[in-house]
Chain A
Amino acid sequence: MAEKKVLVVDDEIHIIHVVAIKLRNNGYEVISADNGIQAFELACEEKPDVIVTDFQMPGMTGLQLVEKLRQCEQTGDIPVILLTARNFVISQQQQKDLQISQCLSKPFSPKELLGNIEDILYHKTVG
């Protein structure tokens, strides 16, 4: 079975680093971007299975990135996990409309993130 590809987007290099190690140790291929624009380009090129993105980033926020991803045919159905240091930034309705699979509040557990990614990919495969 081919390695599942995860795109990790965060302006904090330490967060990308720690998530990448956790995912690689569990058999995932990890690609990363430190801003929204770069992340969108990567998503179009690489078509990752899951995108993990921070909410607050310079230039383009995580939410703006998801909106852009949903507007694009190539990336419209990629599951997204949103990491946020701010609570209640998006409403349930917004989460539903933008098809955000999960919102994780910082500080988060890499183990929990891994569990969420596995769940999403499992449902994607079964569904």
Chain B
Amino acid sequence: MKLRTNSYAIVTAIVVCSLLVASFTSWRYSGIGAGWQNWYGALCMTAYCVGAVGVIWLGWFWLKLARAITSIARQLKEELIAEKRPHVECGTKYLDPRFTRGFASTVKKPAMIKELNETIEDNFTKYSCHIAQLEKQNKDLQIQIQLLQRQKANTEAIIYSLRDAVIVVDEFDRLLMANEAAGKLFHFDFKSSQHKPIDEFITGDKSKFVDFLSQTKYSQVEATRHEIEFSQDETAKIFDCIISCVYDDRQQVCGVVAVLHDITREKQIQQIKNDFVSHVSHELKTPLASITAYSEMLADGDADDEETKKQFYSVIQNQAKRLNRLIEDILNISRIESGLIKIEKKPMSLTILIEEQLQMIKSYAEEKSIEIIAQKPIVYDQVYADKDMISQVIINLLSNAVKYTPCGGSVKIDTMVDENAGTAQVTVTDTGVGIPKDEIEHIFDKFYRVDANKKQAKGTGLGLNLVKQIIEKVHHGRVFVISEPGVGSTFGFELPLAIGQAVEAV
């Protein structure tokens, strides 16, 4: 390396001197113009030739050096990447033999190259670490983006699948998000309405909802709750509307989200419940009023004679029985509706069951001189049912028939089996007062009593509802009624035959 360095210095000096001599002779004696004809011409030409040869040699030297450095740098990079060598050794082994032939044996990496190498190595290590960190951060961000996208998709799927209407607006009341239920309720298409002010497409009787949104936004409260009545599909619907403010990171209201839950059914149930409680209260208080009044009269000595006293006691006793019946009926209906009643279904014969109930009603019918026409025995009438409950149904229908049939009339009970349909049908037909046409649809309702027939007989208005509950709810059968005022009524029920069930004697 030393020889080469010296040669480089000598050659450089010769080139400089040659160029100086050539330049001087050319300037002083117009040497190059004289050619080889005089001494200064020859000197000038020789100086140019020597300088040219020197420049060519220096060019070759620099070319080899540059290639050697490039080779070292490339090799260093390759080795660092491969992490084969944590330390970089100095020496000629990094020189590409193609460029160091006749040169590498003597040329060692100079201090500058070593320093360059170390800098490259440091920077490379530093930037490699940085790149690795960035790559890791990039991967984390990608994962986070994927998670957020998945969460967004899930949230949207949840909101879109909600049956409650959900509407989100920004601080300028422009629509940001809405689900299908909201679109259906307010009659708008989300895609075409997005970013539009909601008062452009929520109008008419529904505009009060827009007012509530604005009120909530300016009310300085986190959420408000309203009960709103809208017409949907030509029916009045009641919605429980919860409107909440959406806050940005500066705790400023940046939008409002509204959730509308349809509470029409709940309201109806509440109304039914209130009506039921009111009816029960009235029905219980009526016999109780008689019991209280008559007992007070007895206690105060208002009954003068034994006959009156006896009459008072009788009224108290009957009203107490009525009260008991009423409570039993209410409890039975309540147990059936709540599913708490114990049901013991067995295959049983309807004919035998009817026979038993006819015995019970016989004396009541005789009191009113009402003829009971029983059915003819039939071959197969097995149904899969709860004996006590069906007994209750039959006795309710029979006692109703006798109750509302004037003295001297008749009550007929029939059983029919439709083997093709797999059903057994029991009908009770009377020659009673009948039911007006417009009241037939309510006849199985709780506490419903035909106004015109109330004088005819006492009743709780629960007997037929109990029949309906037992047949339809417990036994999945069907009840029906045909009636003509002044002619009579036919009440009946239909139960599935116990085909394929083990038959037991009742």
Contact = CB atoms under 8 A, between A and B. Distances in A.
| Chain B binds chain A | yes
A106 B302 contact: no
B302 A56 contact: no
Nearest to B278: A86
Contacts of A56: 282
Contacts of B249: none
B290 interface: yes
A4 interface: no
A58 B302 contact: no
Interface residues of B, number: 26
A14 B285 CA distance: 13
Interface residues of A, number: 23
B293 A18 contact: yes
Q: Which of B289, B297, B308, B455 has the most CB of A within 10 A?
A: B289
Interface stretch (A40-48, A74-82, A108-116): A108-116
B292 A85 contact: no
Interface string A17-34: 111011001000000001
A127 interface: no
B290 A14 contact: yes
A42 B454 CA distance: 21
B454 A18 contact: no
Interface in B299-324: 300, 302-304, 308, 315, 319
B251 interface: no
Contact of A111 (B281, B296, B308, B449): B296
B289 A108 contact: yes
A12 interface: yes
B79 to A, nearest CB: 97
A21 B297 contact: yes
A25 B289 contact: no
B76 interface: no
Nearest to B279: A86
B296 to A, nearest CB: 6
A87 B454 CA distance: 23
Interface of A: 11-12, 14-15, 17-19, 21-22, 25, 34, 56, 58-59, 85-87, 106-111
Closest 5 CB pairs of A and B: A107-B292, A58-B451, A85-B285, A107-B289, A106-B289
Given A12-B286, A12-B290, 11 more contacts: A11-B454, A14-B290, A14-B315, A18-B290, A18-B297, A85-B281, A85-B282, A106-B285, A106-B289, A109-B296, A110-B293
